[in-house]
Chain A
Amino acid sequence: MSDIGHWLSRALSFWRDKRDENLNWQLERQQDVAALRQANALTQQALVAQLKKQAQQLAHELAINEARNQNELAMVKTQCKQDLKDYQHYLQSLDKLKESLRISFAHLPEAVAFTIHHHAKQILNRMWDEPDPQEKLKLEIQLIQFMTAVHEDSQLCLQAKNPAAVPEKTLAFIDSDN
């Protein structure tokens, strides 16, 4: 019985020694642990501050971006409207051109007038759908030259004593284009 008691007391003392050792270890490192905890808390605070700052910057950027996007959209809308109006004006001009041809050349068949108008409209559409600005400019010049040719033919017909039956310059233009 005394052996068991002796063994138990030794085990108990071993356990107490280990506890003491553990406690001493913890006491020794208490300062380090406190410093680490403080450093951890400071790091977290710094991280939070940095994240908040970033979020603030991003929110500001977002607001600027939104305003810029709105402006851009408004500009695109205006540009599209203007484009549409320009296109409509072009179509009206071509209609007037056809009308002036009819007035100048009283006996001009409708088929010829239609062909001239159709050709002008084709150049206009090609110009409108062209993505390259250089090509677009070329086509615009071509359209203007064509319209000028039609106008000149009309003027010549009105001024000449023996006017031609058809707008020769315009038809030559169409031939050269084809």
Chain B
Amino acid sequence: MLKGLLYGVLLASSLAMLLFFIGFVCWQLGLSWLMVGSYGLASNILLAAFAALLFVGCGLLLLALYRQAADYLSREHRALRRLIMLHGFRQQANQRVNLEKRQQFYRAQFKRQRLLLANNQKHCRELFQAINGELKASLEPSVYQSFYQNLKQLHKQSNSQAMLALRDQALCRTSVIG
């Protein structure tokens, strides 16, 4: 059917070309009425051939679309798509569970850090109060003020090691002076 149509279009085009040639010969021979008729017929035939070609092209396009759609909706393709989708789900589920596990561990670690920080602060505060009491008792008020400022600064920074070093320094000073 399609082959026949294409051959018909080719034949019509060839005929139109032949008619153009005949028209040209007639014009050379001075038969203008024949030339007009021949040219008119040839152009109409050529137009019809192109219209038929366009029609065939549209038909082929629609056919290809229909075939693609039918292929897409066929049972085996649907089954295959479902299988691929399930594979994707499985992969996603594995990834998700790993991520959720990591999130749980991260949260636990974060909470532990907070507990540790609160505990550190509590003991640092106790240390600050104790060292402050010791310095107050053992240093002169003028010296005590400067040590207190330093101590306060270190307490703000939660630097317990430096606070201990400051205490040692202050006690050394007291013992040397004493």
Contact = CB atoms under 8 A, between A and B. Distances in A.
B97 A69 contact: yes
Contact of B123 (A51, A73, A118): A118
A111 B131 contact: yes
B111 interface: yes
B54 interface: no
A121 interface: yes
From A44, A73, A114, A121, name the one whose CB has the most chain B CB atoms within 10 angstroms: A114
A111 B105 contact: no
B116 interface: yes
Interface string B76-89: 10011011001101
Contacts of B131: 110-111
Please report whether the interface of chain A is mostly helix, strand, loop or mixed according to DSSP.
helix
B82 to A, nearest CB: 5
A53 to B, nearest CB: 9
A128 interface: yes
Please report whether the interface of chain B is mostly helix, strand, loop or mixed according to DSSP.
helix
A48 B167 CA distance: 83
Given A48-B75, A62-B93, A121 B119 contact: yes
A111 B76 contact: no
Contacts, number: 93
A51 B79 contact: yes
A167 B99 CA distance: 48
B173 interface: no
Given A80-B104, A80-B107, A84-B111, A51 B80 contact: yes
B164 A111 contact: yes
Contact of A88 (B82, B93, B105, B115): B115
B115 to A, nearest CB: 6
Given A69-B96, A114-B123, A118-B123, 7 more contacts: A65-B93, A66-B93, A76-B101, A80-B107, A110-B131, A111-B127, A111-B131
20 contacts: A44-B76, A47-B76, A48-B75, A51-B83, A55-B82, A58-B83, A58-B87, A58-B90, A69-B94, A73-B104, A76-B104, A76-B105, A77-B104, A95-B119, A110-B127, A110-B131, A111-B167, A114-B164, A115-B164, A121-B120
